Structure 1
Amino acid sequence: MKIGILAVQGAFAEHKAKLEKLGAQCIELRKREDLDGGFDGLVLPGGESTVQGKLLRELDMFQPMKEKIEVGMPVLATCAGLILLADHLSNDEHVYFGTMPVTVKRNAYGRQLGSFHTIQEMKGMGEVPMTFIRAPYIEKCEEGAEVLAEVEGNIVAVKYKEQYGLAFHPELDEDDTIHSAFLESVKKYKVLK
């Protein structure tokens, strides 16, 4: 099983280490040709969504990556990755991939000082640690988007088809539950395609 990890900016190395520990083979996606390497799942890491969106277009990676998501490739998107998937941002006019029917608020908890850690219930996964760093949250889900977790009344994790959108950083905690669930969806996708 091979996972492509967007590696143009942001916290991709931590995702790679966690997925490799769980037995996945990972390739770093840095240029257009990397998308031809044949992979079964995609990770969109935290970082700076505006910079990531700009680089994806400049490197001619945007459209082919969007097409992979649209045909059902499983995606694990954390923090900035969630912003890239959202079809609406409440406090920004940009839309990037727009493949997940959710409205997301960028930097919803404020700047770096608004960062925090908690342990909360995640639907179908039990309690998981959640680390929020300059995090967004989901203000609204449209039809088909399933809420997986809330913190203090704010939606922080959703699933739409095979796309997981998380406002937090599971790659920064010891717990492997979320990455394991993602790999399970990749296994199912591989069988079906």
Structure 2
Amino acid sequence: MARKATIFKAELSLADLDRNLYEDFSLTVAQHPSENDARMMVRLLAFMLFADARLEFGRGVSTDDEPDLWRKDLTGAIELWISVGQLDERWLRKAAGRARRVVLVTYGDRAADVWWEQSRGALERLDNLTVLRLSGDEVQALAGLARRSMRLQCTIQDGEALVSGEDGAVRVAPAALHRPEAG
């Protein structure tokens, strides 16, 4: 019998000073049986960084044709596609063709660095792709905040997030490995 997803509930109070967004969210996050707390919390952090009333969790790990999070416009067109991990360049190119904007949040230290060096040339050609990198220490600290029922506060300022929960606070400073050129 296949294992089912573990359901996490998060009450999130968000103060995004960079975007002048102050909102509370009640989130339900399904953790795939093959997903650890660290990856699940990175998905939750991605929600915080790009929070919007229409941003939704996709099926992510359990399907190849959906991202971890996405936001669609009222016509169903994909405005924002967010994935987590170290994905294949062909998969990201496909996502870039389907969405106006694609964000990849990669994490880990040595593995993320090796992946980026191998993928960099091809990914830098995608003009609607942003690649953010989190350190392994930040991700492990975030994983320490994971609870089946969480009350989290997140303040974002100057691109950094301070995420607070029952067991402390974690400062996360995503490094931009690649951003589309402003134009």
TM over 0.5: no
Which of structures 1 and 2 has the bigger CA Rg? Answer: 2
Give TM-score scaled by structure 1 length: 0.32
Give TM-score scaled by structure 2 length: 0.33
Give the number of the structure with larger relative contact order, counting CA–CA contacts within 8 Å between residues 6 or more apart.
2
Whichever structure has more helix as a proportion of its residues is 1
Whichever structure has more strand as a proportion of its residues is 2
